[in-house]
Amino acid sequence: MKSLKKFRIIDLINWAEVYFKAKKFENPRIEIEWLIRSVLKINRIDIYLKFDHVLSDQELKTLKSFIQRRLKREPLQYITNSCEFYGMEYFINENVLIPRPETEMIIDIAEKALINKKTPKVLDIGTGSGCIGITLASRNKDYDILGIDISDKALDVANRNKDNLSNISFIKMDILNQTPKGEYDIIISNPPYIPLKDFPKITKDVRGYEPMVALTDQADGLTFYKRYMNIVDNILKDDGQILLEVGLNQHPLEVKKILIEKGILDVKLIKDLNGDNRFILA
């Protein structure tokens, strides 16, 4: 077999910086570093220490296929099967939503809300990769967490991320048609909230690759919040709380209205770091 031309890490970085830039990628350098790190299974520092490392033919072949996928706008996180959330690394694939940095704040809000509770019971609805529940479980050993999701394939991912944590478990459940057993101190959810009419407007890398079932309710973006209000009396303790991620523009106010109409008095909108209303705590 004819061997491929020899490339060092630094040659590939230099090449990709120009090439990705021409293809209108915003962070060419960061992108190629992530791809190389994923192929070689090394961390960021190693890239710099091993600038002169020559990739094997096999490594080069894998990198080439990763670059081709990225050029078709597949999200980097699906190509590398990894995503960072709240400082922890999660395995992900195309069966789960890519955890968003905006969502990280939900961890702080939940922990603050539960500060005076002893061994709080937490329900994470639509757990996906498990990022919310698992982050809470690993940081708070006294929490007792159940994550539910309608997708078997998402639950496979969540269970893989769970590692050996004993204070969290996952079960399959269709929350729109089934009701979890037991009463919880807090219900947390980042449900599919993009209205179907807005779906064509979202970017191609999201629309083309992330699971539709995790993004939109195929209706007005409010289906899950309405359902939660229908079952909340059965699954929440009397002094329990509900913590939900919400969308952009009018969406937070629409959700707030649904909660108020249910008779919940104390409904707080909380802004994310971009200054957008992003969470509701009630």
Interacting residues with ligand GLN (CB under 6 A): 97, 99, 103, 126-129, 131-132, 190-192, 214
Shortest distance, position 149 Cβ to ligand GLN, whole Å: 8
Shortest distance, position 238 Cβ to ligand GLN, whole Å: 26
What does the block give as tokens for 154?
């998402």
Q: What are the CA-CA distances from residue 247 to residues 103, 268, 279 (Å)?
A: 11, 15, 9
Shortest distance, position 100 Cβ to ligand GLN, whole Å: 6
* CB closer to ligand GLN out of 103 and 161: 103
Q: Are 154 and 90 in contact (CB under 8 A)?
A: no
* CB closer to ligand GLN out of 35 and 215: 215
* CB closer to ligand GLN out of 127 and 241: 127
Q: Give residue number: closest CB to ligand GLN.
A: 128
- What interhelical angle do 131-139 and 152-162 show, nearest 10? 20
Shortest distance, position 103 Cβ to ligand GLN, whole Å: 5
* CB closer to ligand GLN out of 155 and 214: 214
* CB closer to ligand GLN out of 39 and 114: 114
Partners of 84 in beta bridges: 89
Dump the DSSP string for the chain.
-PPPPP-BHHHHHHHHHHHHHHTT-S-HHHHHHHHHHHHHT--HHHHHHTTTPBPPHHHHHHHHHHHHHHHTT--HHHHHTEEEETTEEEE--TTSPPPPGGGGHHHHHHHHHTTT-SS-EEEEET-TTSHHHHHHHHH-TT-EEEEEES-HHHHHHHHHHHTT-SSEEEEE--TTT---SS-EEEEEE----B-GGGGGGS-HHHHHHS-HHHHB-SSSS-HHHHHHHHHHHHHEEEEEEEEEE--STTHHHHHHHHHHHTT----EEEE-TTS-EEEEE-
* CB closer to ligand GLN out of 66 and 279: 279
Shortest distance, position 74 Cβ to ligand GLN, whole Å: 18
Shortest distance, position 23 Cβ to ligand GLN, whole Å: 28
Shortest distance, position 190 Cβ to ligand GLN, whole Å: 4
* CB closer to ligand GLN out of 161 and 241: 161
* CB closer to ligand GLN out of 99 and 252: 99
Shortest distance, position 121 Cβ to ligand GLN, whole Å: 18
